[in-house]
Chain A
Amino acid sequence: MIEHDAPDVRELDALLESVAQNRDRTAFKTLFDHFAPRLKGFVMRQGSDPHFAEEVVQETMVNVWRKARQFDSARASAATWIYTIARNMRIDLLRKINRPEPDMDDPALVPDPAPAAPENISKAQEAARLRAILSELPDEQQEVLRLAFFEEKPHGDVAAELGIPLGTVKSRIRLAVKRIRTEFGEDE
Chain B
Amino acid sequence: MSIHHHPSDELLLDYATGALGEAWSLAVATHLALCPHCRAAHARLDAVGGAFLAGTSPEVVSGTVLDNVMALLDEDEIELPATPAASAEARGIPILPNPLRRFLGGDLAAVPWRRLGMGASQYVIPLSDHGATARLLRIPAGKPVPEHTHNGLEVTLVLRGAFADATGSYGPGDLQEADETLEHQPHAADGEDCICLAVTDAPLRFKSMAARLVQPLLGI
- A residues engaging B (CB < 8 A)? 1, 9, 23, 25, 28-29, 32, 35-42, 44-45, 50, 53-54, 57-58, 61-62, 65-66, 75-77, 79-84, 86-88, 90-91, 95-97, 99-103, 105-113, 123, 126-127, 130-131, 134, 145-146, 148-150, 152-155, 157, 169-170, 173-174, 177, 180-181, 184, 186
B25 contacts A100, CB within 8 Å?
yes
Provide the B10-24 mask, 1 if CB < 8 A to any CB of A, else 0: 100110011110100
The 3 closest A-B pairs by CB, nearest first: A80-B50, A37-B58, A102-B33
With both beta carbons as reference points, the residue of chain B lying nearest to A19 in the complex is identified as: B73
Chain B residues at the A interface, C-beta cutoff of 8 Å:
1, 8-10, 13-14, 17-20, 22, 25-26, 28-30, 32-36, 39-41, 43-62, 65-66, 68-70, 72-73, 76-77, 80, 83, 85, 88-89, 93-99, 101-103, 127-129, 173
Measured CA separation A32–B62 after assembly (Å): 12
Contact yes or no, A53 B46, CB < 8 A = no
B98 / chain A contacts, CB cutoff of 8 Å? 102-103, 106, 108-109
Which label, helix, strand, loop or mixed, suits the secondary structure of the A interface? helix
Q: Which residue of B lies closest to A144 (CB)?
A: B13
Known interface pairs A79-B54, A131-B51; A105-B17 also in contact (CB < 8 Å): no
Q: A81 — which chain B residues lie within 8 A by C-beta?
A: 50
Chain A residues near B85 (CB-CB < 8 A): 105, 107
Q: What B residues does A29 contact at CB under 8 A?
A: 66, 70
